[in-house]
Amino acid sequence: MQYRRLGRTGLEVSVVGFGSAQFRLVPEQRALDALKHGFSLGVNIVHTAPDYEGADDLVAQAVAESGKEIIVCHQGYGDRAHIEWLFETACKKFNKERLELFGIACVDDRELLGENVWGAGGHIEFLQQKKREGRVRGIFCTTHGSPSYIRRLVESDAFDAIMMAYNPLGFHLLSYNQSLREKDSLTEFVPGNADVIPSAARRDIGLMLMKPLAGGLLCEGKAFPPLGSLAAGVAPLRAAEILRFILLNHPEVSCVMPGTASVSEAEENARAGYSPLTLPHGRREAILLAIDQLRSCLCSRCGRCDELCSKKLPVSWLFRDYYITINQCMQFETLDRLEYHVLHPWAEAACGSCADVTCRCPFGIDIPPALVHIHKEMEKFREMGLLPVPADEDPSGEDNALRPFAARLFRKEIPPALDRGQAHLFRLVAENVGAYSWRPSPHSGGICLLVFMGGELVHKVRLRGETPPGEKAHFVFELRSPSKSGFYRLQFVLLDESFQSKETGADLLTLEVQVR
């Protein structure tokens, strides 16, 4: 493994680190195995956050079980009291009085939300105080701001390291229409971030790059195989060569931080940082050609088409939700109001009957047939049960917001049939529609998902992270099917075991499944 200095922190970090946001979508043991395998291959830096549904707990467990010295980039947000509480909680989780890195989560969002970042008693003042006390070695932040905004962060000298988005494609899975925010300097522009790299290097500020694989747009993920092809006819790229391509082109960058959620991804991503950092002869040109081809068939969500559609469709947002759906790895980043069937509620594709085609893509995408294809695919995914479940009225007639515990099934991924005696992956997403927050319990009790098969309790899945009202929780697990063929009744019940009351249980789903 190759290591580079993380700016003025003086820390030597592996050129490939791991992101952990996707851990909520895989069984806990799979996340632990991925982390520990990466650690064994020399990865020594991981980014996590307190709002990743327990990913920080998994990172802490993997670090402890590996026995290795791992640099954890942990972050906070909120008011002064909350960020201080998050800092002390991180110290306890990682069993350290002094953290190597602690910082501000998406600092541009903190400003937009009106949090006190720069003022007296604010985030920066708190972090600098902890640094003077010797409680933190380096202060960092993550940002999805514009290049000019990031340059101001660099020039502020408030941070020892910065994590920003960058990849050779120039956008990523979650890129959005720039009109979402006001036309100001906060809008992310990935290609322009390359211009920030030299200025950060001159001030000895370490740079960590997130979204180096464009969230799966540049290559097919191994932890979450795509549901279909986004760019038919384009020569496939591999994660390792893209990561190496970035590291070769930008030697000032300290590390790339791809999301890594399986052992196979950990293997490929980690070995991308192995010596020698080279590409086979002619491969650099082939990568550039493939990237140019991808740009001509993937929507970058520049938003120019949104203002041109004669039917007032939010074109770029339709592309965006389709990409998120087909790539699977970041489904938790979609807002309810931005889901495909909310934006396009009609049974037939609106573009299929458009007589006044006014939309134009500056990059050459033929929008009408592309959206007709997307509509057919999204309808197919809905029939397969892979899309969010529409909200139904509470059959009890009660207002859920007034009930202490209430939940509804938001999304389900359940195998259509089970093979005898085999382990199968299940994903259920539950929305908290009750009156109080769900909180995970490190001990017995607390909120958990009970799985019954044929009336018998066969599995219990704990809640991983705090889930306030209106938010969603992921329950992901593997279930081994019976050894005898037949049809079995599967029932999923969400329960708060802290209280012995009918008001603390919710039947999420009951169905019949075939074991063959």
Q: With bands split at pLDDT 50, 70 and 90, how would you rate the model's confidence at 306?
A: confident
The predicted model scores a pTM of 0.94
Tell me which of 421 and 232 has the higher pLDDT: 421
Of 332, 354, 383, the residue that ends a domain is: 383
Residue entry with tokens 């720039």: 178
The structural domain count of the chain equals: 3
Segment 205-261, tens digit of pLDDT: 999 999 999 999 999 999 999 998 888 888 889 999 999 999 999 999 999 999 999
Q: With bands split at pLDDT 50, 70 and 90, how would you rate the model's confidence at 176?
A: confident
Sequence-separated (6 or more) residues with CB below 8 Å from residue 223: 22, 25, 26, 30, 34, 260, 261, 262, 264, 265, 329
| pLDDT of the residue at 180 | 46
For residue 406, pLDDT over 50 is answered with yes
37, two tokens: 């395998």
233, two tokens: 């006819």
User: Are 258 and 132 in a shared domain?
Assistant: yes
Segment 375-389, tens digit of pLDDT: 999 999 998 888 988
Among the ranges given (219-223, 372-376, 398-402), the one the predictor scored with the smallest mean pLDDT: 398-402
Is residue 324 within 8 Å of 332, Cβ to Cβ?
A: no
Residue 182 lies in a domain: yes
**In the chain, how many H helices and how many E strands?**
13, 18
For residue 141, pLDDT over 80 is answered with yes
For residue 128, pLDDT over 90 is answered with yes
Q: What are phi and psi of 58, to 5 degrees?
A: -65, -40
Sequence-separated (6 or more) residues with CB below 8 Å from residue 448: 460, 461, 462, 463, 494, 495, 497
Q: What are phi and psi of 185, to 5 degrees?
A: -85, 10
| pLDDT of the residue at 182 | 45
**How far is it, in rounded angstroms, from Cα 264 to Cα 272?**
13
Residue 395 lies in a domain: no
Residue entry with tokens 């467990």: 61
Name the residue among 253, 146, 168 with its Cα closest to residue 217: 168
**How far is it, in rounded angstroms, from Cα 307 to Cα 171?**
20
For residue 165, pLDDT over 80 is answered with yes
Is residue 323 within 8 Å of 175, Cβ to Cβ?
A: no
Name the residue among 409, 512, 405 with its Cα closest to residue 469: 405
| pLDDT of the residue at 500 | 56
Residue range of the domain that includes 311: 304-383
Sequence-separated (6 or more) residues with CB below 8 Å from residue 20: 31, 35, 46, 47, 48, 49, 52, 55, 56, 58, 59, 259, 260
For residue 394, pLDDT over 60 is answered with no
Burial of residue 102 (number of CB atoms within 10 Å: 0-12, 13-18, 19+): buried
For residue 425, pLDDT over 90 is answered with yes
Give me the sheet containing 472-480, strands edge to edge. 407-413, 423-432, 472-480
Residue entry with tokens 């759906």: 325
User: Are 265 and 320 in a shared domain?
Assistant: no
Rounded mean pLDDT, 130-135: 97
Segment 87-111, tens digit of pLDDT: 999 999 999 999 999 999 999 999 9
CATH number, residue 12: 3.20.20.100
Q: Letter for the amino acid at 279?
A: L
User: Are 287 and 320 in a shared domain?
Assistant: no
User: Are 242 and 149 in a shared domain?
Assistant: yes
User: Are 69 and 104 in a shared domain?
Assistant: yes
| Distance, CA of 190 to chain centre | 17
Residue entry with tokens 């990409």: 323
- Looking at the DSSP bridge assignments, the partners of residue 456 are 453
Name the residue among 246, 261, 271 with its Cα closest to residue 164: 246
User: Are 87 and 184 in a shared domain?
Assistant: yes
84, two tokens: 């201080």
Distance (Å) of CA 134 to CA 53, 98, 117, 128, 363: 29, 7, 21, 10, 51
Q: Letter for the amino acid at 75?
A: Q
Residue 389 lies in a domain: no
DSSP-based helix, strand, coil % in the chain, nearest 5: 35, 20, 45
Residue 249 lies in a domain: yes
CATH number, residue 433: 2.60.40.10
| pLDDT of the residue at 420 | 93
Residue 390 lies in a domain: no
**How far is it, in rounded angstroms, from Cα 3 to Cα 188?**
28
| pLDDT of the residue at 396 | 45
Rounded mean pLDDT, 320-333: 93
